[in-house]
Structure 1
Amino acid sequence: MIAYQLITALSDAKPQSHLIARVSCAQLPQTALVAEMRESDGIADTRFGCAPFARITLLPDALWHDALTEGLLAALRPLIASPASADIVLDATDIDDVVLAQVLRFLFNQAHRLSDLQLKKTSEGVRIKRITALCLPEQQEKLETIFRHQQAIAHGMVAARRLADIPSDRCTPQFVVEEAQKLCSAFPTLRCDVLNEEQIVEQGLGLLHAVGKGATCPPRLLTIHYDGASDGPVRCYVGKGITFDTGGLWLKEGAGMYTMKYDMCGAANVLGLMLTAAELALPVRIMGVLALAENAIGPDAMQPGTVATACNGMTVEINNTDAEGRLVLADAIAWASQRHPQARYIIDMATLTGAVVKALGYELSGLMTQDEPLRAALTQAGKRSGDEVWSLPLDARLKKQTDSAIADLCNTPTNNAAISASAAWLLHHFCPQTIPWAHLDISGTALWRENGRSVASGRPIPLLVEHLMGDL
């Protein structure tokens, strides 16, 4: 765990810290070195002659107010890749709140590295253990709240990222269940229920069963309940948890299959969200539903043309076995709505379509909903948190995209158009109109991509926590 503290004078910083500050920070030491560094047009960084600090980095003032392009984060990433000190001193005397939240989450997330999985022999380098904020006395109360919230959000993100980064031969549906149970046991307000493969069939979750029945590791439906209040409406979150996606009999090519262990990031992020809500002791009731399955090939794998029945009685023609995520989500959304027909809302999240990446890139999550208040609230929460969403259309013009001659719906449009919105149109049939519902396609944002490699990002946990706190 990475700790934090607030100070109002640099003399209170721990010796041999790494000082990161604005060029114009008034509290910088008045030395010839600092004066020379201030003359730089860009990043000024040194590890020499900067005692009592181990390293001093001065960054242009504009970066501390650049929430749109994450300029400060881009500058910090290479600096933090190999820390010079376990203690970071961050100038917080004049920084945009959104930029500060982004930076804090990044720093607190340094608690997890791929090497922590102990799958590769590496020599342990310096790890960040403490973040110290240099601030003005009048800022302390506000910054204490920001730091506490971002630390809790990062804890949930780290839990989700660790789970998602584990190779899929280990991270099976049952493994996710067991890890979630371990993590949730630390909080009395969290409890877990699980349906095994027989119970999934018994309770009519035919879409989840169809996706998972081809694998040797059977599907699971994990429900996590958070009781932060004794009554009031339940807020529901549903996550796609495909622990590995081969595409089924509609087999993916090798390059497209490589990162498919991350097809359970939606479910992992629901778990992380629940852990953050418990750590912050939010005064609400929440239910998280993790639809867990492996989409495999084999004698029992679902076939193109199969018609499966969801737990709400709707039938779906499976004309593409590689469009499995919307199937497990549909069942889980319907199941959640049946458990809480008076739910405050249902929000699902999934690495659902590559098409959303083509539309929005890697910085924005796709938001699809027909509920305008929920759309507005999530959009504003995205701007406040720096974890933004962008709306895509969702209305009856998409109806033909899910028409089937043999079933109520088909799972993919035959014309290969409007893939992301068509998936959302399918999903909206499984949430009653009386419950506000929103779909987040996080295919572009659930992973952090750098130097040709991908790792889990923990998004959109910051967005959802911000939305939760704004909805108290």
Structure 2
Amino acid sequence: MTTFALRTASPAKTRAEAVVVGVLPDGKLAPGAEDVASAYGRKLSGLLATLGVKGGAGEVAKVPTGGTIASPLLVLVGLGPDPDAAAVRRAAGNAARAVTNAASVALALPADTPELVRAVVEGYRLGGYAFTSYKSKPGTPTTPAEVVVLTPAARRADVVSALGPAQVLVDAVVAARDWVNTPPGDLTPPAFADAIAAAVRSTNKGLDKGATQVKVTVLDEDRLAELGCGGLLAVGAGSAAPPRLVELSYAPKDAVAHVALVGKGITFDSGGLWIKPAASMATMKEDMAGAAAVVQATLAAARLGLPVRVSAYAALAENMVGEASMRPGDVLTTYDGTTVEVTNTDAEGRLVLADALGRAVEAEPDVVLDIATLTGHMVMALGEKMAGVMGDDDVVATVLAAGAAVGEDAWPMPIPEFMDERIHGSTIADLAQYDGIRWGGGLFAAAFLREFTGGLPWAHLDIAGPTFNKGGPAGHLAAGATGYGVATLLEYLRSRATAGGAAAPAASVPA
């Protein structure tokens, strides 16, 4: 277990086994590393030139110090031209992978504000993340026992208070990453529901005496049938592992707002009878990332004691091919009584979300947020690094602001009026699940979901792109699951707490 601490010590005099400093494009070391620059003096520019370090984002170089400074190893990380929190976060992540087998590391990156301190801690922990649960020989752990953030502001109350929440948030992102990375055969809907219940128990056990605990209810297939959750039942009908709806409630007595969070939890998506091409199916264990984000954001809110009531719904099903699989042409009835004509079994996410949204609306929250790896159309529109956000303008703006504050890229997308005609295009049911028109599929899906929000303030986050990193690690992102969305949801909850007139711990963590 790595511990983090804040100190005012000189990076040139610290005896940590490695010291990390930032480099700017002008060939100078970034703020926080002044003492190291002084120790090297005129030799510094020649050293950087020899190493080819120009301060660009993503650059990393390791230099034995030979006694020039007290630490035996100097790690240089490029910050790019704008060393803001996002740049510091990425650089800290790169440094975490560069420093191996060091018992102690000192981070002398820009860290004179709470935002930058959080970025350093978040970046280093997330950049060093590795999922090794299934490695028969995971190797020697490379994470240091102690990481010290060197900052002249180490004794300032606002900076000190940023350290704890940052670690809570990173814990949540790591937990979400672990769930998404777990092989789908081991994280079926019942197994995922059990894992969520276990996480709730663990969170409650760690809360201070008298703190508000999180309540969890797991609805199995029999209860779903009693309630008329036709979407979840239809999607899960082809799988040997039946669906689940997991409902969490965090209701502090001093709550100043009530937010409902709804997450898509398709533990594996084969496409059903519209079976996916093999290449498209390879990473479909990621299709439950929305549910993972909703659960972990709720548990982190409880750990932080945010004065916001949270009602969370994780809609869990496995979309498989079986003798009972739903068919194109079937008509199902969702929890709120709406009938839906199924025309594409690979557009299953909106069906499970319809039931969960219906349940969420009954809790009468102030606002509803749903998050889902919903459409490939959104990836085509925005790429693999950015989410699309749709819904009521005011809610969308607040969600986008939350994402910007924590370094999760998102972009507003419209729900054009003509989409209403398209989703009502079925001749035999209330709604058409899919209409076969190739263009604007992500907007169609959002318009479909809006039908189940009961007119409440609402926003939909389509995270199909940024939830899974199919390339190599970069910055604070590891290969595989990113944990995208945990940070944005948590920051949104914090903003609601603050807007409601109550003080709340500053919170940000990227994924």
Q: How does the TM-score come out when normalised to structure 2? A: 0.85
Offset at residue 271 of structure 1 (A): 1.4
Residue 315 of structure 2 corresponds to 291
Relative to 1, partners in 2 of residues 1:35 and 1:149: Cα closer, same or farther, differing over 3 Å?
farther
Relative to 1, partners in 2 of residues 1:33 and 1:128: Cα closer, same or farther, differing over 3 Å?
farther
Distance in 1 (alpha carbons) for counterparts of 2:2 and 2:435: 47
User: Does residue 52 of structure 1 match 2:70?
Assistant: yes
Where does 1:438-457 land on structure 2 (aligned, <5 Å)?
438-451=459-472, 454-457=479-482
Distance in 1 (alpha carbons) for counterparts of 2:147 and 2:356: 40
Which residue, out of 252, 268, 276, partners 2:276? 252
Which residue, out of 224, 235, 238, partners 1:214? 238
Which residue, out of 406, 409, 421, partners 1:400? 421
Relative to 1, partners in 2 of residues 1:104 and 1:412: Cα closer, same or farther, differing over 3 Å?
farther
Residue 147 of structure 1 corresponds to 163
Residue 361 of structure 1 corresponds to 383
Which residue, out of 130, 140, 146, partners 1:113? 130
Residue 15 of structure 1 corresponds to 16
Residue 388 of structure 1 corresponds to 409
Distance in 2 (alpha carbons) for counterparts of 1:378 and 1:348: 11
Relative to 1, partners in 2 of residues 1:74 and 1:92: Cα closer, same or farther, differing over 3 Å?
closer
Contact 2:408 2:488 in 1 (8 A): yes
Distance in 1 (alpha carbons) for counterparts of 2:140 and 2:300: 28
Residue 496 of structure 2 corresponds to 471
Letter in 1 for 2:224: I
User: Does residue 379 of structure 1 match 2:380?
Assistant: no
Offset at residue 30 of structure 1 (A): 3.5
Per-residue deviation, residues 30-87 of structure 1 (Å, max 9, x unmatched): 33488426754345531352553242123456456256xx555555555432523243
Residue 178 of structure 2 corresponds to 162
Distance in 1 (alpha carbons) for counterparts of 2:202 and 2:336: 34
Residue 3 of structure 1 corresponds to 3
Which runs of 5 or more structure 1 residues have no equivalent in the other structure? none
Q: How does the TM-score come out when normalised to structure 1? A: 0.91
Per-residue deviation, residues 337-385 of structure 1 (Å, max 9, x unmatched): 12x12x111101000111111111122211010x222122112112221
Other structure's SS at 1:394 match:
coil
Where does 1:249-398 land on structure 2 (aligned, <5 Å)?
249-338=273-362, 340-341=363-364, 343-369=365-391, 371-398=392-419
Distance in 2 (alpha carbons) for counterparts of 1:175 and 1:318: 27
Distance in 1 (alpha carbons) for counterparts of 2:42 and 2:7: 20
Distance in 2 (alpha carbons) for counterparts of 1:217 and 1:33: 65
Contact 1:108 1:154 in 2 (8 A): yes
Letter in 2 for 1:225: S
Per-residue deviation, residues 222-256 of structure 1 (Å, max 9, x unmatched): 01111333555421101100000000000001111
Which residue, out of 176, 194, 219, partners 1:178? 194
Offset at residue 93 of structure 1 (A): 4.3
Distance in 2 (alpha carbons) for counterparts of 1:91 and 1:131: 11
Contact 2:256 2:307 in 1 (8 A): no
Give the root-mean-square deviation of aligned CA atoms: 2.5
Other structure's SS at 1:52 match:
coil
Other structure's SS at 1:326 match:
helix
Other structure's SS at 1:187 match:
helix
Offset at residue 112 of structure 1 (A): 4.2
Relative to 1, partners in 2 of residues 1:100 and 1:355: Cα closer, same or farther, differing over 3 Å?
farther
Letter in 2 for 1:136: P
Moved more, 154-163 or 36-45: 36-45
Contact 1:211 1:293 in 2 (8 A): yes
Letter in 2 for 1:55: L
Relative to 1, partners in 2 of residues 1:462 and 1:13: Cα closer, same or farther, differing over 3 Å?
farther
Distance in 2 (alpha carbons) for counterparts of 1:73 and 1:126: 19
Identity %: 31
Count of equivalent residues: 465
Per-residue deviation, residues 312-346 of structure 1 (Å, max 9, x unmatched): 110111100000001101110111112x12x1111
Relative to 1, partners in 2 of residues 1:201 and 1:14: Cα closer, same or farther, differing over 3 Å?
farther
Distance in 2 (alpha carbons) for counterparts of 1:260 and 1:278: 30
Per-residue deviation, residues 189-234 of structure 1 (Å, max 9, x unmatched): 1121010001001001111110011100000000111133355542
Relative to 1, partners in 2 of residues 1:274 and 1:216: Cα closer, same or farther, differing over 3 Å?
same
Distance in 1 (alpha carbons) for counterparts of 2:223 and 2:160: 46
Which residue, out of 484, 487, 491, partners 1:462? 487
Residue 258 of structure 2 corresponds to 234
Relative to 1, partners in 2 of residues 1:324 and 1:137: Cα closer, same or farther, differing over 3 Å?
closer
Which runs of 5 or more structure 2 residues have no equivalent in the other structure? 24-28, 205-212, 498-511
Contact 1:64 1:96 in 2 (8 A): no
Residue 97 of structure 2 corresponds to 81
Letter in 1 for 2:351: L
Moved more, 218-227 or 73-82: 73-82
Distance in 2 (alpha carbons) for counterparts of 1:330 and 1:277: 25
